[in-house]
Amino acid sequence: MAPRVLIADSLSPAALAIFRHRGVNADVKVGLSKDELIAIIGAYDGLAVRSATKATKEVIASAKNLKVIGRAGIGVDNVDIPAATAAGIVVMNTPFGNSITTAEHAIAMMFALARQLPAADVSTQAGKWEKNRFMGVELYAKTLGLIGAGNIGSIVADRANGLKMKVIAYDPFLSPDRAVEIGVEKVELEDLLARADIITLHTPLTDKTRNILSAEALAKTKKGVLIINCARGGLVDETALRAALESGQVGGAAFDVFVEEPAKANVLFGAPNFIATPHLGASTGEAQENVALQVAEQMSDYLLTGAVANALNSPSITADEAPKLRPFVALAEKLGAFAGQMVDAGLKGVDIAYEGHLANLNVKPLTAAALAGVLRPMLAEINMVSAPAVAKERGITVSESRQEMSPVYDSLMRITVLTDMGRRAFAGTVIAGAPRIVEVKGMELDAAFAPAMLYVNNLDKPGFIGALGALLAETGTNIATFNLGRVAAGDDAIALVGVDQAPDDKLVARIRALPHVKEARALDF
């Protein structure tokens, strides 16, 4: 029986044509209420959406036959991914289909802001002819600061270079070679704030990027700077920006995205020289055609052959490979996440070594899973399929090596990250089907991954373990697991502590202040 797909949001007719050509039965039912969707979703194998339809926990609970949810676009805020994963539903997106369109919108906003086009249009059509009121600025020879130089940011840089602008970029994952390739100067955030005449944001919204343009950051910008956000709401402190616009510290701002959407009201509305558009970044016929084609092809491939592309919650492996690779994919993701959370400086390269039985398997999905883990702390929307392409576009060197013999374990995976600060290596294996950490900084240990963990690097001195335990007890932090490794007595040592409560910054700072502690971090798995 042919699989059935529900197209619940407005997609290009090309999507329906592809489904039918591939032998998939597709129904178009747009504008369903939550209850209406719950009532019919059980009859479908696939659900194709844009951003309007919400695939909530309740919807997924009623989707007894659903195998795949396809998002025609990048963001998946409207899909409950944990619920879909628990139900065995693959969630796919189309990460690169609207990059050019979004970059062009940012450039359009930059022109509109520099020449005050929206206000000038309203004034002129009202018959005022206020020629002296709208004094603009040239973009030629101005310094454009990119916060984020990935796929979209690099396209903006290319267009800005064509306008003969000077382009600087802050992006922890941007390598020097890649910076040269896309024609930008790599700088730190403080330098960008001080130098940029115009700032445009092109980064995902993560804990590290939320309010990256805070009140403090805005105070460090050049007076009269122009700010453009066509990326994600929440990257700029909206209240602080309103104050900066009114004081003249910021000369103008143009936003396509807001903290709360739809933005029926916003603190920025009505501010001096502020331009707003209703999340139009991907709204061109070409972009919608591209993402519709991609999502239909990806969903058809999965439903008909089991092939997985651009999945946010499933590895790209065939049905035959799945039983062998599944535990090692879990290891790769967690070990990569460990390595990624230990990266503070610019990431230059990732080397992944496979030893023992693992070296004879198809390691491509493992490398992709490991890269996704490494990159995810800074790039929230990364997935296994897009991770290799993102690493390549950012100039991050990725290498694999295989060794059929492993001295201790049947199979071992080692991830080495190269940064501006040097190299760090992390090794793991699978024991009884579960991933484990067996080496950090060359020190052997044996630790299971826990949802919340503390990493502490210290000198192996008497009293340290007691001091750490006492501090955790004092703060009400319950220890679930405690694993130790060291070079030698009195030398370098590490502790990996699984805890029941996620450590906050204050606790980590107190651990760093303990005698003999060299480094302390909170880890999230």
- Residues known to be catalytic: 232, 261, 279
Q: Residues for the chain: how many in total? A: 525
Please name the amino acid found at residue 158.
Answer: D
| The two three-digit tokens of residue 279, written as one number | 């999340």
- Radius of gyration, alpha carbons of the chain: 25
Distance CA 391, CA 375 (A): 8
Cis peptide before 204 (omega within 30 of 0): no
Please name the amino acid found at residue 100.
Answer: I
Q: How many CB atoms lie within 10 A of CB 487?
A: 14
DSSP state of 41: G
| The two three-digit tokens of residue 401, written as one number | 């090596």
Alpha-helical (H) ranges within 163-265 are 176-182, 189-195, 215-219, 238-247
Contact assessment for residue 512 and residue 456, using Cβ atoms and an 8 Å cutoff: no
Alpha-helical (H) ranges within 266-400 are 285-305, 322-341, 364-375, 386-393
Please name the amino acid found at residue 122.
Answer: V
Query: With left for phi above 0 and alpha for psi between -120 and 50, is residue 355 left, alpha or beta?
Result: beta
Bridge partners for 495 per DSSP: 456, 484
Bridge partners for 4 per DSSP: 25
Listed residue (377, 328, 382, 374) closest to 151, CA to CA: 382
Distance CA 491, CA 486 (A): 7
Distance CA 71, CA 301 (A): 15
Q: How many CB atoms lie within 10 A of CB 427?
A: 21
Token pair 């690779």: residue: 325
Distance CA 356, CA 346 (A): 31
Residues 6+ apart with CB under 8 A from 12: 285, 288, 289, 292, 293
Burial label for 349, CB within 10 Å (0-12, 13-18, 19+), is middle
Distance CA 273, CA 238 (A): 14
Distance CA 106, CA 97 (A): 16
Distance CA 232, CA 324 (A): 38
CA angle 325, 327, 331 (to 5 degrees): 110
Contact assessment for residue 522 and residue 503, using Cβ atoms and an 8 Å cutoff: yes
